[in-house]
């Protein structure tokens, strides 16, 4: 089914200034591979050639805006180094024989501009503004200087308002110095919050998978010297409202994850899969991670000494909601709960828009993976 897709070019530098802010219309046919929702990815090279990405070729998505077949989700892929990011394969350096993947629910990170989808407390009429937003960004930058988070190469973020917020994170000085130049972002049409994956390494491809009434699963693929890493970013249904319906929606998320994982492993038996994000259920509950597939879950690894018994605390109880399940064992993993992340009692220091205090009601989690 043909659909007009929009490719928006981003970049920096006077040399390429005349090539920026171009909007190119391309007509594409969406792959009919049976996946629930598939975003077609376009390839930009030197502002002169555009090709359509499909699973049958190895084109690199460097930047752009992509609209899904059902017009429900949008995926953004950005590179600020358009002319130096062309190689199809990025090897780990001699000093990097492993990578750190992090997942963090940043708790409703909204900018200071109204676009009509904000929660009421983050409207300018409620007193929310850009200055307060920038303070939150500074706190996020501080957190990513802690422990293993400072070594993270791929980060899954839950509850960011939009792609502009993700770009603002990548514009923070420490993220730029560490080489974070790529991201994918997805969410429901009209939804207030999105999921995002940011990376120091080029994104080979990105797909959005979903069904009616649920948040999408964002698939982002990387290539390390021929080794495929498939990150499935999730933000499963919360526990607000009817519990049977919530469990059913999380089970649908699990069905999608299971289907994508099976497809990836069938296509590439050596691929490594990471399911990262806020599951909104504890490890072992069996909805987001189905029992018919084998996953390494760091929360269940008794050999680890974790700094907190969970990533989220509510009504006096800890929950292991934030997770990074792997198709192979991690060499190390943990919860970051230090510094400004914690209250004096060691609990997540939730952000309060009323008091303008705190950081997030979730702790970040991380895994170190050998590739």
User: What's the total number of domains in the chain?
Assistant: 2
Return the exposure string of 157-176: e unless at least 16 CB atoms fall within 10 Å of the residue's CB, then b. Answer: bbbbbbbebbbbbbebeebe
Task: Spell out a b/e string for 70-93, using b for 16 or more CB atoms within 10 Å of the CB, else e.
Answer: eebbbbbbbbbebeebeeeeeebe
**Chain mean pLDDT for the chain:** 80
State the pairing for strand pair 194-199/217-224.
Answer: unpaired
What are 348-370's pLDDT values in tens digits?
999 999 999 999 999 999 999 99
CA 285 to chain CA mean position, Å: 22
H/E segment holding residue 103: strand 98-109
Residue that is written with structure tokens 């952000």 in the block:
351
In a shared domain, residues 69 and 121: no
340 vs 90, 162, 163, 252, 351, CA distance in Å? 34, 25, 25, 35, 11
Tens digit of each residue's pLDDT (9 = 90 or more) over 102-135: 999 999 999 999 999 999 999 999 999 999 999 9
Domain co-membership, 39 together with 119: no
pLDDT of residue 153: 98
Side by side, which strands form the sheet with 365-370?
Answer: 182-186, 194-199, 152-160, 98-109, 365-370, 332-335
- CA distances 319 to 157, 283, 286, 311, 339, Å, are 18, 9, 15, 6, 20
User: Does residue 199 sit in the same domain as residue 231?
Assistant: yes
The tens digit of pLDDT for each residue in 283-328 reads: 999 999 987 789 999 999 999 999 999 999 999 999 999 999 999 9
Based on the fold, state whether residues 219 and 357 are members of the same structural domain.
yes
Residue 11 within a domain? yes
> Is 152 inside any structural domain?
yes
Indicate if the pLDDT at residue 32 is higher than 60: no
Cα separation, 324 vs 297, in Å, equals: 7
Each residue's pLDDT tens digit, 69-95: 333 333 444 333 322 233 333 445 544
92 within a domain of the structure (yes/no): no
Q: Residue 245: beta bridge partners? A: none
Q: What are phi and psi of 351, to 5 degrees?
A: -75, 140
Comparing 182 with 55, which gets the higher pLDDT?
A: 182
Average pLDDT estimate for 253-265: 96
User: Looking at residues 205-233, what average pLDDT do you find?
Assistant: 94
Judgement on whether residues 37 and 142 belong to the same structural domain of the protein: no
Query: How many whole angstroms separate alpha carbon 312 and alpha carbon 319?
Result: 5
Identify the CA nearest to 230 among candidates 257, 253, 210, 250.
257
DSSP for residue 19: G
Q: Are residues 57 and 108 in the same domain?
A: no
**pLDDT band of 57, cuts 50, 70, 90:** very low
Q: Give me the pLDDT at residue 47, please.
A: 24
Residue 9, pLDDT above cutoff 90: no
Indicate the helix (H) or strand (E) that contains 121: none
Tokens (6 digits) for 371: 């590739």
Q: Is pLDDT of 206 > 90?
A: yes
Domain that holds residue 122: 98-370
Residue 172: which pLDDT band, with cuts at 50, 70 and 90? very high
What is d(CA 102, CA 367) in angstroms, rounded to the nearest whole number?
Answer: 7
Identify the CA nearest to 128 among candidates 136, 359, 142.
136
pLDDT for res 35: 37
Question: CB–CB of 340/142 below 8 Å?
Answer: yes
Instruction: Quote the pLDDT of residue 219.
Output: 98
Say yes or no: 224 and 297 in one domain. yes
Whether residue 67 is found in the same domain as residue 108:
no
Cβ atoms within 10 A of the Cβ of 353, count?
18
Task: Give the pLDDT mean for 225-230.
Answer: 94
Compute CA 157 distance to the chain's CA centroid, rounded to the nearest angstrom: 5
Residue 156 main-chain phi, psi, to 5 deg: -100, 130
Is the domain of 65 the same as that of 106? no
Residue 340 is classified by DSSP as G
The arithmetic mean of pLDDT across residues 153-162, rounded, is: 98
Tokens of 130: 């850009």
Predicted confidence at residue 23, as pLDDT, reads: 28
Number of Cβ within a 10 Å radius of residue 330: 23
3 state SS of 193: coil
Q: What is the pLDDT of residue 295?
A: 96
CATH of the domain at 156: 3.60.10.10
Shared domain check, 354 and 309: yes
Domain boundary, last residue among 42, 77, 112? 77
């Amino acid at each position: 089914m043909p659909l007009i897709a929009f490719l928006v070019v981003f970049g920096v530098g006077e040399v390429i200034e005349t090539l920026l802010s171009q909007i190119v219309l391309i007509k594409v046919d969406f792959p009919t591979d049976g996946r629930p929702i598939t975003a077609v990815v376009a390839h930009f090279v030197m502002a002169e050639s555009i090709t359509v990405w499909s699973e049958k070729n190895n084109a690199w998505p460097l930047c752009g805006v992509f609209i899904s077949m059902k017009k429900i989700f949008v995926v953004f892929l950005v590179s600020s180094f358009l002319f130096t990011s062309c190689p199809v394969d990025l090897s780990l350096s001699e000093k990097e024989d492993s990578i750190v993947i992090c997942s963090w629910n940043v708790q409703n990170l909204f900018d200071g501009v109204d676009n009509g989808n904000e929660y009421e407390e983050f409207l300018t009429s409620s007193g929310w503004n850009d200055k307060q937003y920038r303070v939150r960004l500074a706190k996020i930058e501080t957190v990513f200087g802690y422990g293993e988070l400072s070594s993270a190469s791929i980060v899954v973020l839950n509850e960011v308002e939009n792609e502009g917020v993700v770009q603002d994170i990548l514009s923070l000085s420490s993220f730029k110095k560490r080489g974070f130049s790529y991201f994918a972002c997805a969410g429901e049409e009209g939804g207030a919050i999105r999921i995002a994956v940011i990376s120091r390494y080029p994104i080979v491809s990105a797909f959005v998978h979903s069904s009616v009434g649920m948040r999408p699963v964002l698939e982002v693929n990387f290539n390390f010297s021929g080794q495929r890493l498939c990150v499935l970013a999730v933000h499963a249904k919360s526990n607000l409202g009817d519990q049977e319906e919530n469990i059913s929606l999380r089970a649908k998320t699990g069905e999608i994850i299971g289907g994508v994982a099976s497809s990836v492993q069938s296509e590439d038996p050596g691929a490594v899969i990471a399911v990262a994000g806020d599951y909104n259920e504890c490890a072992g509950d069996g909805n987001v991670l189905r029992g018919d597939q084998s996953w390494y879950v760091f929360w269940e690894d008794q050999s680890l000494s974790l700094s907190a018994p969970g990533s989220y605390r509510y009504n006096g109880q800890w929950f292991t909601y934030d997770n990074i399940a792997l198709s192979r064992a991690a060499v190390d993993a943990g919860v970051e709960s230090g510094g400004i992340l914690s209250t004096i009692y060691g609990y997540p220091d939730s952000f309060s828009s009323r008091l303008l205090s705190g950081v997030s009601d979730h702790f970040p989690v991380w895994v170190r993976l050998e590739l």
